[in-house]
Amino acid sequence: MSLTFVNAQCHCGRNSFKVGFQTSALPICSDLCHCTSCRHSTGQLVINQVRFDGIPLSRTTDGPADFTHLMPYRTSDSATRWFCSTCSAHILWEYTEPNSWCVSVGSLEMSEGIVKLTHHIWVGDTVDGGIANYLRVIEGYELPRYSAGAREKETVPLILPVPISEAKDNQNDILAAHCHCNAVRLSITRPSALSALPSSPYPDLIFPYISTPASKLDNPEDEKWWLRPAGVEKPTHYLAGHCACRSCRLTSGFEIQSWAFVPRKNIFFHSSASQEPVELNLQDDNLRPEALHRYVSNPGRNRESCRRCGATVFWWGSERPDVVDVSVGLIDQSQGGVRAENWLNWHKDRVSFSEDAISKTVIEGLVEGLRQSK
């Protein structure tokens, strides 16, 4: 049997290996999973993993890959997820029934011609359809949207009715979010007067860094771009969007990272030492939540994840320490759905750093779906 080997790695590079795919079967058909376990254990709205032949191999010796810098996390009796102990990228899945391995597509050095997305699974877990509402067509092929696994063949409509009881819950002034192991639990409050105090340059989501003058990106008019609706006296929502940059991909293991931009003053952390949530503090080492693991992906750029399950939680930078990116996959779907549209205003004109995407066709499909949904 002829195998095609593809290299894979996490962002920090401490985990670097290769995986083999049966050459005659390429591209390997794969799904996008929206299940509750995947979302809350990774922080992503959707994950994409693909099965390969054999075990992960060393790139230099052809022996088994070194797992020294990987942390195991079990989400079921038959599945162990392996994430980097340094940058927290979820890069491998180990299954016992049957014994097999999968690799996160975002960690591969190439995916075009290797992986072909063919359908969505567990869309029912999202309550509102999640990102499957936007990523509908890739290269002219419409992806089926299965409520559970593909074997059941039960599909879901594009518009899912949110149960009345859950929709009412979403009218409250607290949006809950948590990782899979519950070591990280957040409460997000509605915009207030404090939400407009920070100043920040524009993100690539609004103005592409590759083509926008620095004088514009600096936000000289001090627009509070994270508050929505824009320009109103009492905003009620926060801006949210999707990113395809290399750093997000390699620190998560996945091609699409979804962020909500929330002022730090509106984020409260549930500490095990206190019954009441406390205001989030990320800069003071004495006040930082113990459950968070910090990784500096670039100078002045910080990524926070759960120490126990590896879920992506925050991004924050020295240029805007008081407006934090919150990983949307953590949001409690029972409050009206994973997109939390009663709280978040999704940007539909662009995917951040789409020019950096490893799979151009996937991001092009997402961009087109976002624009069509406006």
Closest Cα to residue 254, out of 15, 33, 27, 14? 33
pLDDT on residue 157: 85
For the chain, which ranges sit under pLDDT 70?
A: 160-172, 273-274
Domains of the chain with bracketed CATH: 3-152 (2.170.150.70), 164-372 (2.170.150.70)
Which pTM was predicted? Answer: 0.94
Are 370 and 348 in contact by the 8 Å Cβ rule? The answer is yes
Question: What pLDDT is attached to residue 88?
Answer: 98
Report the alpha-carbon angle 56-58-63, nearest 5. Answer: 85
Predicted pLDDT at 165:
47
- Residues 48 and 132: beta-carbon distance below 8 Å: no
3-state SS assignment for residue 276: coil
Phi, psi of 264 (to 5 degrees): -60, -30
Estimate the share of the chain in helix, then strand, then coil, as percent rounded to the nearest 5. Answer: 20, 35, 45
Cα separations (Å) of 54 from 25, 60, 103, 104, 374? 15, 17, 12, 15, 44
Q: How far apart are CA 171 and CA 368, in angstroms?
A: 30
Torsion angle of C-alpha atoms 138, 144, 146, 152, degrees rounded to 10: -130
**Is residue 241 within 8 Å of 351, Cβ to Cβ?**
yes
